[in-house]
Structure 1
Amino acid sequence: RYRLLHVLEFDPNRRRMSVIVESPSGEKLLFTKGAESSILPRSKSGEIDKTRIHVDEFALKGLRTLCIAYRRFTPEEYQEIGKRLHEARTALQQREERLADVFNFIERDLELLGATGVEDKLQEKVQETIEALRLAGIKVWVLTGDKHETAVSVSLSCGHFHRTMNILELVQHKSDSTCAEQLRQLAKRIKEDHVIQHGLVVDGTSLSLALREHEKLFMEVCKNCSAVLCCRMAPLQKAKVVRLLKTSPEKPITLAIGDGANDVSMIQEAHVGIGIMGKEGRQAVRNSDYAIARFKFLSKLLFVHGHFYYIRIATLVQYFFYKNVCFITPQFLYQFFCLFSQQTLYDSVYLTLYNICFTSLPVLIYSLFEQHVHPHVLQSKPVLYRDISKNSHLGFKPFLYWTILGFFHAFVFFYGSYLLMGEDTSLLGNGQMFGNWTFGTLVFTVMVITVTMKMALETHFWTWINHFVTWGSIVFYFIFSLFYGGIIWPFLHTQDMYFVFVQLLSSGSAWFAIILIVVACLFIDVVKKVLYRHLQPTSTEKAQLTEAGSGINCLDSMCCFSDGETACTSVRRMLERLMGRCSPSRVNRSWSSSDPFYANDRSILTLSTMDSSTC
């Protein structure tokens, strides 16, 4: 039996790994495996030329290649090697550099044994996923440590490179001058053939030269290429490329996805890192932001979940600014009418509960459950992802719109209440005048109803939870105000709100003012939405219209749980009969085990046998 003596660990710079063993006869042997670029130059004997030809043939077939070599040690050589290894491994300073020097000293004068070609099959639906990413406006770069021929073959098979694409190469350059000249020629060629799609192939050595003094020219060439392939990349080079893209003038959002230890530095460098749980260990998964089981799940992660959560977060942030602008501005305007005496417009309890109870739940449920387009539509139409690219929903213009809308509503709240229920208007038939706290309560009531209705206008996906919290928030406000103003509370220093809300609701003119002001506030927003949808509809809005016509709407969300069929079947069928939406005999809601998008996601009910032509 062979006895293991030493292990020379893999190093991405050396691109090889070795072991020193003792044969049954007592002979000391070194076995080395690694990339042909690191093994062949260190081999002095064996079928070197023949092996090089075989390696190139394997690479053209898309196989991952390795070369294997060995070396015999004399007792004196092994004694010296053991001494050097011990000194390097016990060094307190510069241990890694000293180990690298010793490894290079050991791994020389090798005798080549041969080469291996291992087929690394692509996962299913890789080509479809990459094509979907391209349709969504996402530029895909492939960073790999594979040989040049292997990387190009795999890129062609997975759809990263098309057969009709003009492949440009920046490989095997040893000096800055030749690399710069090649970059200039590539840039000129791209400008001359601007109609044709170009793909760029660059290896690690040429990339290091290009980034040293010609970074701007290199990035210009890459931007004009539809696809970029970087081969023979060390892990740190992968991270450097990601950092180069992050710091480019366009400031793009980068996403790195990988399944091996070589991808960890790249995953950590990108804005978003995704690890694939594969056979190469869990290092990538442990260092990533998100983990998925297959590469094909990336499309659902981006186009469905990413799309949903971006819309939810964008609306959540801007709605909070909007409703607080509506809340504070009337208080500011009131100071011009109270001689800047710091008199509050709202009662202190209302000031406390506005953001805690009265307006918090609708936007919370929206940010958890909103689906403005059906998931199947988002998955099947990657182009819809372009509508949220470049932070379109959370940029300056949308934020400015929400802020201006908040000020507009606040002015309507205050001056509308002031004009309709002014100082010369009697509240009750007995001549009792309109008081300070009643005026503030009227403004607050209009505000709570309007901001809640505004959230309802933004909601596309209505479940029973949305209905409960939206209308329940308004009902809770009325019930709380009646209860709070209908009792004399002994622990309060003043009873300013006693019977105020009851008197407000007993006035017909107050009800008229509430309805008129709420309609006036929301009318402008509704008109704007209607005009934009008809004059300048986005791809998402067109998809919503198509979706509405195909019979997928809020009724599809009524049964959201696996055991919810029996609970809401009767209600759903009754509503469908009343609306004339579908023939009950043709509808069957069930979980579809063969569904490609939701086989492992039971949070959304799928339509398995619904005939859309009957809807």
Structure 2
Amino acid sequence: MRVLSFDDLLWTPKMAVRTDPQLLKLLNNDSSNEEAKLVLEFFLALAACNTIVPLVLDTRDPKQKLIDYQGESPDEQALAYAAASYGIVLVERTSGYVVIDVLGDRQRFDILGLHEFDSDRKRMSVIVGCPDKTVKLYVKGADSSMFGIINKSLELDNVRATEAHLHKYSSLGLRTLVVGMRELSQPEFEEWQLAYEKASTAVLGRGNLLRSIAANVECNIHILGASGIEDKLQDGVPEAIESLRQAGMKVWILTGDKQETAISIGYSCKLLTNDMTQIVINNNSKESCKRSLEEALARTKEHRVASSIGSPYPVLASESSGTVLALIVDGNSLVYILETELQEELFKVATECSVVLCCRVAPLQKAGIVALIKNRTDDMTLAIGDGANDVSMIQMADVGVGINGQEGGQAVMASDFSMGQFRFLVPLLLVHGHWNYQRMGYMILYNFYKNATFVLVLFWYVLYTSFTLTTAITEWSSLLYTVLYTSLPTIVVGILDKDLSKSTLLAYPKLYGSGQRNEKYNLNLFVLNMLEALWQSLVVFYIPYFAYRQSTIGMSSLGDLWALASVIVVNMQLAMDIIRWNWIIH
């Protein structure tokens, strides 16, 4: 851990990062070496090219302070702590400058301009005025974006080495970034500054103008290095995904990480397995995407035909014996597929596969994938995410769930439900979702039944009065029947009744399939409830009628008896349908 001394105070980063001794030695003892200068520039880029705000916290020791980095992105926090561990410590940030402790020497870097990260460029950059009066552009971003702005002809060896390192990092499931820089000449800086100030004050199209200016200045970048950040899965994620799949749900992963990282994450969460056959669509043109989709569709048909031999029923390719298909699509291919005629082919292939994994996807592409399923099937879609990049997807899905994590609260604010961890999705769906479906299905049928029973009693009476305007049941009896006598028990049962316990529903995820099969609410149950209302209304009407028709009881008294009998009958039916009794229901 790096400890700084300033004004007789010790400043220590809050989080310690394990360092490489050779790299530390190179930084501290060989500042004239060209390699050491590049390493220093790399860590300066990590410390300056971000939106981190350093906070100085007090400790029990009045002579010691903690530096806590706050920011929306946990990746930026990790990179800032890594730079601090090597002696490049961001200690202060204002709107116009940052103060960085460079190996014990505090230096001020003026922030001349900041181009924030966006999903189109997939990178961010900052232009800083250095203490030696030079102007430098620091850039960091995704490798697919960064390699397009690097002059590969001048540093081919560095690019190849970086690509090898990135492949190694992503194969381990690390989230990768490429860092680069270039020094701006005075004419280049003045040209950029003039355009930047003009775009910043534009009333219309400000965002597009700033992106255009950023794209113009982010060119001929000198590559400094790459970083790999471990993004650990939360506890219980593999088990949660397995439970959801056992419940009959299809789980798709939509991520902005590169393909190797996404596949590694798929294996770590047990969504992908070694016995799966992977169909990879990674193309750079519409024609090649079309060919890949046609080949994938032919492949799924072959698996379906092979699996259906000897079976009297049609079988999906994803259900074939001994072979499970997994579709992997990257964001470049989705550019040519979504919003074109090819998306129909993608839909056919995706629905035949057990697992779909989309990598390097932009936020709008995530929403497009959700819309692809939502607009072509009657299935309910649920999207869950924890970052600002997931907002479009969450809003597009039928049900949006936001995880309140370290990447800000935008996903939570845009969601229907919020939770602290992914594994909480299992009780939300398998337990509360099942209970809610069972209660809602029964309550809808019961309300039709109880209202039909009462109305049919009135109908039988009307037949005996030749459809006159007289009524045997008073308005107060009719009102109280609906508002008090039958509604309050319905509300209590609708809130508290449970057909199965929580432990049972979690232990047997397939029980969730009752909702998918419409077992609790369907046309047959509706017809049976109406038939039940029909014969019970006949009983309620005719038993008192035949019992008292020769007596001196008036019609109003007989109407009260009909109303009372209706209340008793429908509440007895409710009591017989209750699955789990407790003291409140009693």
1:249-268 correspondence to structure 2 within 5 Å: 250-268=377-395
Match of 2:216 in 1: 105
String of CA shifts for 1:434-488, please: whole Å, max 9, x gaps: 4322322222222111110111122112111100xxxxxxxxxxxxxxxxxxxxx
String of CA shifts for 1:12-66, please: whole Å, max 9, x gaps: 1110011111111111011111000000121114411110111011111111100
String of CA shifts for 1:549-600, please: whole Å, max 9, x gaps: xxxxxxxxxxxxxxxxxxxxxxxxxxxxxxxxxxxxxxxxxxxxxxxxxxxx
Mapped pair 1:191 → 2:297: no
Match of 1:343 in 2: 470
1:572-587 correspondence to structure 2 within 5 Å: none
How far 1:394 sits from its partner (Å)?
3.1
Partner secondary structure for residue 103 of structure 1 = helix
Distance 2:488 2:264 in 1: 54
1:325-404 correspondence to structure 2 within 5 Å: 325-389=452-516, 391-404=518-531
Distance 1:264 1:392 in 2: 33
How far 1:391 sits from its partner (Å)?
4.3
1:86-485 correspondence to structure 2 within 5 Å: 86-171=197-282, 173-194=283-304, 195=320, 196-211=323-338, 212-248=340-376, 250-389=377-516, 391-419=518-546, 421=547, 423-424=549-550, 426=551, 433-467=552-586
Letter matched to residue 340 of structure 1: F
Change (3 A) 1:99 1:400: farther
- 1:24 is matched with which residue: 121, 131, 134? 131
String of CA shifts for 1:216-267, please: whole Å, max 9, x gaps: 221111111001001010000101111111111x221010000111001111
Letter matched to residue 361 of structure 2: M
Structure 2: gaps (5+ residues): 1-106, 305-319
Distance 1:150 1:20 in 2: 30
Distance 1:310 1:274 in 2: 18
How far 1:417 sits from its partner (Å)?
3.3
Mapped pair 1:11 → 2:138: no
Letter matched to residue 125 of structure 1: G
Letter matched to residue 119 of structure 2: P
Distance 1:163 1:331 in 2: 67
Choose between structure 1 and 2: higher strand proportion.
Answer: 2
Q: Quick check: 313-322 or 445-454, which moved more?
A: 313-322
How many positions carry a matched residue from both structures? 457
How far 1:383 sits from its partner (Å)?
0.6
String of CA shifts for 1:410-437, please: whole Å, max 9, x gaps: 2232234334x1524x4xxxxxx34322
String of CA shifts for 1:201-220, please: whole Å, max 9, x gaps: 00112123223112222111
Q: Quick check: 44-53 or 298-307, which moved more?
A: 44-53
How far 1:409 sits from its partner (Å)?
2.0
Distance 2:483 2:171 in 1: 64
String of CA shifts for 1:266-289, please: whole Å, max 9, x gaps: 111111110111111111111111
Distance 1:287 1:348 in 2: 46
Match of 2:69 in 1: none
Partner secondary structure for residue 346 of structure 1 = coil
TM-score normalised over the length of structure 1: 0.72
Partner secondary structure for residue 160 of structure 1 = coil
Letter matched to residue 292 of structure 2: Q
Distance 2:166 2:450 in 1: 66
Structure 1: gaps (5+ residues): 427-432, 468-615
Letter matched to residue 358 of structure 2: C
Letter matched to residue 477 of structure 2: Y
Partner secondary structure for residue 332 of structure 2 = helix
Partner secondary structure for residue 325 of structure 1 = helix
Letter matched to residue 277 of structure 2: N
Partner secondary structure for residue 464 of structure 1 = coil
How far 1:401 sits from its partner (Å)?
2.9
Partner secondary structure for residue 521 of structure 2 = coil
Distance 2:207 2:517 in 1: 43
String of CA shifts for 1:286-310, please: whole Å, max 9, x gaps: 1111111111111011111111112
Match of 1:596 in 2: none
Distance 2:177 2:114 in 1: 18
String of CA shifts for 1:92-148, please: whole Å, max 9, x gaps: 222222111111001111000010011111111111100000000011111000000
Distance 1:348 1:332 in 2: 15
Distance 1:395 1:95 in 2: 53
String of CA shifts for 1:164-219, please: whole Å, max 9, x gaps: 11111111x22222211211111111122232110000011212322311222211
Match of 1:524 in 2: none
Change (3 A) 1:71 1:390: farther
How far 1:343 sits from its partner (Å)?
1.3
Partner secondary structure for residue 422 of structure 2 = coil
String of CA shifts for 1:503-533, please: whole Å, max 9, x gaps: xxxxxxxxxxxxxxxxxxxxxxxxxxxxxxx
Match of 2:38 in 1: none
Letter matched to residue 466 of structure 1: I
Distance 1:157 1:397 in 2: 44
Distance 1:408 1:231 in 2: 60
Partner secondary structure for residue 148 of structure 2 = helix
String of CA shifts for 1:370-408, please: whole Å, max 9, x gaps: 111111111111110001115443333333332332233
Partner secondary structure for residue 59 of structure 1 = helix
Distance 2:287 2:520 in 1: 46
Partner secondary structure for residue 376 of structure 1 = helix
Match of 2:143 in 1: 36
TM-score normalised over the length of structure 2: 0.76
Match of 1:613 in 2: none
Partner secondary structure for residue 252 of structure 1 = coil
* Aligned-residue CA RMSD (Å): 1.4
Distance 1:397 1:204 in 2: 46
Distance 1:390 1:141 in 2: 22
Partner secondary structure for residue 426 of structure 2 = helix
Distance 1:373 1:268 in 2: 32
Match of 1:81 in 2: 192
Partner secondary structure for residue 213 of structure 2 = helix
